Amino acid sequence: MAGKEVKMGAQFSGEKIIDLNFSPPDCLISYLGAVTALLRARGIRCDLTDVAGRSGYAFIINIHPELLPTGPVAFDWEVLIEGTRALGVEVELVAVARGDNDEANFTELFERVREEIEAGRPCIVWGAGEGPQFGLVNGYRQDRYVVTGAKGRRDEISYDQLKAVWRIAGIFAGERFEPECRTEERKAVVRAVRLLRGTVACFDAEYFSGVRAFSAWGDAVARGRTDYEGLIYNLLCYYELQLLAAGFCVRLAKKHPQAAPYLKNAARCFQNSFHNLEQAGKLASSPAEVRQNSEPIAKLLRACREQNEQAAVELERAFGLME
């Protein structure tokens, strides 16, 4: 974070908390829950499906070779910002890598957040929660963030004790505007296809991204190279995302009748993939069951690749018919 000079060991005082009429939805993908609540607080009507589809998060598949639980967040979040902005508000992501300047960066981020809160604008901070996740910040108390979670749960965390792996980051919402919905929906479809095919330059080379990630995931399970907690967490996250992808396609189908057959086909592909992941989860209720059921689990995961590849084809066909 470049800009104004920041004093080390800063002391903060005072407090302000913004009342919210909408808490983050309870979901595994913290970006989606926090952004949905942030936009609702700014008067934008949206839900998880809107945010997941427009931002492109619903179409991200990112798997570590050892199935660590980092895949669902281990990418450049800037890829989400254009689509998030398309919901009708200026959105800014400020992020710097962890390093020698952490103290200054923690301080500068906290000062920026305090300014936003004073202006009546909630914001989002990476690591402001129970773990490395995005937290909705709607206030500060002395040197602590006030964070509102699902079901209105309120926590506080010291500005320099964020559980922020990789980066120190915040997301800020500016002025509202009226988006060109039809144009943005077409862009969302293009974004979805590119993410499914792993052609967006936002992924770490160490990870498998796009539809091929399902094959790598299946291969890892078949070889017994699985972090069990990571396996389960990835399953939970991706069947949430696949279900949101299906829901977004169904919504688009209602708005674009000419493209509806292809959009509904894409939705069915994502629904089938969701069911495969759900079934894989049932076969993986313990580390011993994963070892015993490694081949059927791997087969289900590899089938997800085929279903997502077909979904990308259907979305491409739909794009040509969207008005």
Do 34 and 153 lie in a common domain?
A: yes
pLDDT given for residue 247 in this prediction: 98
Task: Look at residue 10 and tell me if it is in a domain.
Answer: no
Do 268 and 238 lie in a common domain?
A: yes
Do 19 and 152 lie in a common domain?
A: yes
Cβ atoms of residues 84 and 63 within 8 Å: no
Cβ atoms of residues 92 and 174 within 8 Å: yes
Do 262 and 291 lie in a common domain?
A: yes
Task: Look at residue 73 and tell me if it is in a domain.
Answer: no
Give the DSSP letter string of 78-147.
HHHHHHHHTTTEEEEEEEEESSTTHHHHHHHHHHHHHHHHHTT--EEEET-SSSSSEEEEEEEETTEEEE
How do residues 23-50 score in pLDDT, each as one tens digit?
Answer: 899 999 999 999 999 999 999 999 999 9
Quickly state the pLDDT bin for 1 (edges 50, 70, 90).
low
Half-sphere exposure of 142 (CA within 13 A, CB side): 4
Task: Look at residue 35 and tell me if it is in a domain.
Answer: yes
Buried-exposed string 12-47: b where 16+ CB fall within 10 A, e elsewhere = eeeeeebebeebbbebebbbbbbbbbbbbbbebebe
Do 271 and 298 lie in a common domain?
A: yes
**What CA–CA distance (Å, rounded) separates 65 from 213?**
9
pLDDT given for residue 323 in this prediction: 80
Range of 236's domain?
181-319
Look at residue 16 and tell me whether its pLDDT is greater than 80.
yes
Give the residue, 169 or 131, on which the prediction is more confident. Answer: 169
Quickly state the pLDDT bin for 8 (edges 50, 70, 90).
very low
Look at residue 53 and tell me whether its pLDDT is greater than 50.
yes
How do residues 103-149 score in pLDDT, each as one tens digit?
Answer: 999 999 999 999 999 999 999 999 998 889 999 999 999 999 999 98
Q: Which helix (H) or strand (E) holds 216?
A: helix 212-222
Do 215 and 160 lie in a common domain?
A: no
Do 19 and 128 lie in a common domain?
A: yes
Do 142 and 26 lie in a common domain?
A: yes
Do 135 and 204 lie in a common domain?
A: no
**What CA–CA distance (Å, rounded) separates 273 from 296?**
14
Rounded mean pLDDT, 48-58: 98
Task: Look at residue 300 and tell me if it is in a domain.
Answer: yes
Q: What's the structural domain count of the chain?
A: 2
Look at residue 5 and tell me whether its pLDDT is greater than 50.
no
Looking up residue 33, the CATH number of its domain turns out to be 3.90.70
**pTM for this one?**
0.94
Task: Look at residue 65 and tell me if it is in a domain.
Answer: no
Q: Helix (H, G, I), strand (E, B), or coil: what is residue 208? A: strand
Quickly state the pLDDT bin for 10 (edges 50, 70, 90).
low
Task: Look at residue 77 and tell me if it is in a domain.
Answer: no
**What CA–CA distance (Å, rounded) separates 307 from 293?**
21
Buried-exposed string 217-240: b where 16+ CB fall within 10 A, e elsewhere = bbebbbeeebeeebbbbbbbbbbb
Quickly state the pLDDT bin for 277 (edges 50, 70, 90).
very high
Do 283 and 152 lie in a common domain?
A: no
Quickly state the pLDDT bin for 2 (edges 50, 70, 90).
very low
Query: Which has the closest alpha carbon to 218: 304, 118, 96?
Result: 304
Task: Look at residue 136 and tell me if it is in a domain.
Answer: yes
Give the domain-ending residue among 127, 148, 176: 176
Rounded mean pLDDT, 267-282: 98
Do 30 and 168 lie in a common domain?
A: yes
Give the chain's mean pLDDT. Answer: 93
Give the domain-ending residue among 122, 154, 176: 176
Task: Look at residue 7 and tell me if it is in a domain.
Answer: no
Residue 37: both structure tokens together: 């609540």
Do 93 and 159 lie in a common domain?
A: yes
Cβ atoms of residues 248 and 185 within 8 Å: no
pLDDT given for residue 286 in this prediction: 95
